[in-house]
């Protein structure tokens, strides 16, 4: 199995009339329980990580772990950046292979939020 795009997973869910849960993981044990349970239920799942998760584990390590678990459990997984705030950091993670992003611009003034949305919208629509 493999890592799939969140967009693909959610489009399939919409057509099939079911929901897809996303779980923020912070360690290997949590990820293992989430993936094992999803595989046993034959249910799609999104593995999400906060900026702290990606900093602690390392982007490349986390992507490799998700890929390895997808193969181990023969179950497709999606990976998502949850509440990431720094555009350059997000861009680096997207270049590394992440295909789902929630940009958190809540700390910015309105004008900056608009610019961030425009900048992200131009960079991320292919995901």
Q: Is residue 55 situated within a structural domain?
A: yes
User: H or E element: which one contains 29?
Assistant: helix 28-41
- What pLDDT was estimated at residue 98? 87
Interval 26-62: pLDDT, tens:
999 999 999 999 999 999 999 999 999 999 999 999 9
Relative to beta strand 46-49, strand 101-103 is: unpaired
pLDDT value of position 101: 82
Catalytic residue among 82, 88, 89, 104: 82
Range of the domain at 11: 6-123
82 flagged as catalytic: yes
In a domain, residue 101? The reply is yes
Q: Do 127 and 100 form a contact (C-beta atoms < 8 A)?
A: yes
Asked whether residue 46 is assigned to any structural domain, the reply reads yes
Q: DSSP assignment of 55-104, as one string?
A: HHH-HHHHHHHHHHHHHHTT--BEEEEEEE--HHHHHHHHHHT---EEE-
DSSP lists the bridge partners of residue 49 as 81
Residue 116 lies in a domain: yes
Per the domain annotation, does 1 fall within a domain? no
Q: Can you give the CATH number for the domain in which 85 is found?
A: 3.20.20.70
Residue 14 within a domain: yes
CB-CB contact of 80 with 49 (8 Å): yes
In a domain, 12, yes or no: yes
- 28 within some domain: yes
Is residue 36 a contact partner of residue 75, using CB atoms and an 8 Å limit?
no
Q: Please write the tens of the pLDDT for every residue from 60-118.
A: 999 999 999 999 999 999 999 888 888 888 888 888 988 888 777 777 665 554 455 55
Confidence grade of residue 23 (pLDDT, cut at 50, 70, 90): very high
Q: In total, how many domains does the chain have? A: 1
């Amino acid at each position: 199995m493999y890592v799939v795009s969140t967009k693909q997973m959610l489009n399939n869910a919409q057509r099939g009339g079911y929901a897809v849960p996303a779980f923020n993981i912070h360690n290997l044990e949590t990820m293992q329980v989430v993936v094992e349970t999803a595989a046993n239920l034959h249910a799609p799942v999104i593995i999400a990580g906060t900026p702290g998760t990606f900093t602690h584990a390392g982007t490349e390590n986390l992507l490799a772990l998700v890929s390895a678990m997808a193969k181990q459990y023969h179950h497709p997984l999606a990976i998502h950046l949850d509440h990431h705030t720094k555009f350059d950091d997000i861009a680096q993670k997207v270049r590394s292979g992440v295909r789902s992003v929630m940009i958190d611009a809540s700390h910015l003034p309105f004008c900056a939020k608009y610019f961030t949305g425009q900048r992200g919208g131009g960079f991320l629509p292919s995901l």
